[in-house]
Structure formats: structure tokens, C-alpha cells
Amino acid sequence: MARIQTKTPTKPRRGAAPTDEQLLDGEPLREGAVAMQQKSLGEFGPYLAMRPLGRQVQEALDEALRELSPGGVLALDFDGVEMMDYSFADEAIGTIFSRMSGKEYPDRYMVLLVKDDPTSQALLENVEVALAQREAAAIVVPVDDLGELRRTLANPDAEGEAEIDWRVIGKLPEHLIETLDAVMKRGSATVRDVVEALSLESVTACNNRIARLHQLRLVRRKAAIVPEGGRLYCYSGVF
């Protein structure tokens, strides 16, 4: 099971960062900003068990993802949840991430917000197993970094260092973890940028790595037309 913990890179900024009061979920502040919606599993009760309830939550997450504007992020937290069994975790969360990697919800993303306490980490264990069984992966962000996450998404070109700790759970081989880390550190990168950053020998192999990360919805992809003709894809982190 994949685990990596790091920080997002320093980003060149233009202008002051917005205040928390300005960062309304789903309301981008300016051109280029990314909409974020937050949803809590605690809405469905403190004890989350069995597939019928998991299916109910899966439907709610499905609706929330479809309501996002392109590029939007759904942040799912565990507030108020005391117990979660594997059947629920697989049906509610594992299935959604599996559907995302199966090309549903194009250009929509989901991250998990988790507190740094024993209960929250225990809840995450069944989620991680469910993701691994489905060959999916998810980015986990500490709840304490929620404000910085909102600021980063609302003002992606803002100046200063975005202090967001993040890690990946689920099934992600080491070479893909290495590639994801390289993309996150650069902020925006082409395949050739990553080849150079990691001193790889094969552009094709690197392209396959990034394509898999994009399929898992762990990186964004944006196409640009180059003067010589054709398209050049640039990749960036979810935040």
C-alpha cells in the first residue's frame, strides 16, 4: 500500500492571499480559481457499517462530484464518525475512486481530509484496504491544512509557499509515487520535465507513468497548442 508524505512546492504569487471569509465553497474568487466543496461522512451518522448505507453515501458523493464545475475538488472529511467497517468503506469510498479511474466524473477530483488522532487514523485503515483492493489511490490532507488548501485552490497563481502536508493511500507503486512527487514539486510539468527531474531514460515509460496518475485522478492534465503544431500536455497536482 502506497504512502508518501510531503509538502506542496513554493508557488510564484501575484497579489495578496484571500481571507478565509472570502473562500466560499464552490465560489471561485477569480479567473483560474478552482471550486472546492466540502462534505462530511458524519452527516450519515457516527457508526458507518454495511453496504446498503455505503451505497447511500456513494450516491451522495456521486451527486456532489457531478455538481462540481470542471476542475473542481470535493474534500471529504470524517468529522463525527466513530466507526467505519470495510464493507461501508469499500462501497462508499472505494467504489467512487474506482469509478473515477474508470473515466467517470471527468476533470473532477476528490481528496480525503483527516484529523491527526487515533480514531481518524483507524477509520482510514479500511478505506486504504478498499482502495488497494480496487487498485485505486487517494490523496490525504490533514484537516489542519484545510485553510491553506482553500487558499491554494482559490488563488493558484498566488505568491508564497503553500504549506500543505499530503500523502497517498491505496495501491500506488513506488515508481508512480516518485513521479507524482516530481509533478507536485514542480507545480506544472511536461513529460519531458519529469524525465529530466528524475533522470529517466525513456520518455515513453514516463508518459505511461503520468498517464496512469491522470487516470487515477491524482494529477491534472491541460493541453496546449504548440507553434510547431500538435498538442503539448502539461500536468499539475490536484492542488
Q: Which residue has the higher pLDDT, 40 or 19?
A: 40
Cα dihedral 209→211→214→216 (10° resolution): -70
- Judgement on whether residues 150 and 181 belong to the same structural domain of the protein: no
- Same structural domain, 19 and 44: yes
Host domain of residue 132? 5-172
- Pick the last residue of a domain from 172, 202, 223: 172
Strands of 50-202, DSSP E: 73-77, 83-84, 109-114, 137-142, 160-161, 165-170, 188-189
Q: What would the DSSP string read from start to end of 206-239?
A: HHHHHHHHHHTTSEEEEEEE-TTSSEEEEEEE--
**Average pLDDT along the chain:** 87
Tell whether 122 and 45 lie within a shared domain.
Answer: yes
pLDDT band for 124, please (50, 70, 90 cuts): very high
Identify which has the larger pLDDT, 4 or 231. 231
Residue 217's CATH number: 1.10.10.10
CA-based R_g, the chain, Å: 18
Which of these three, 124, 143, 172, is where a domain ends? 172
Model confidence over 151-172: pLDDT tens digits? 888 877 655 445 789 999 999 9
Instruction: Compute, in degrees rounded to 10, the torsion defined by CA atoms 218, 136, 116, 123.
Output: 150
pLDDT above 90 for 208: yes
Q: How many domains does the chain have?
A: 2
Chain segment 55-98, per-residue pLDDT in tens: 999 999 999 999 999 999 999 999 999 999 999 999 999 999 99
| 110 and 218 co-located in one domain | no
**What's residue 28's pLDDT?**
42
211 and 138 together in one domain = no
* Mean pLDDT of all residues in 189-213: 96
Q: Is the pLDDT of residue 7 over 50?
A: yes
Of 119, 148, 172, the residue that ends a domain is 172
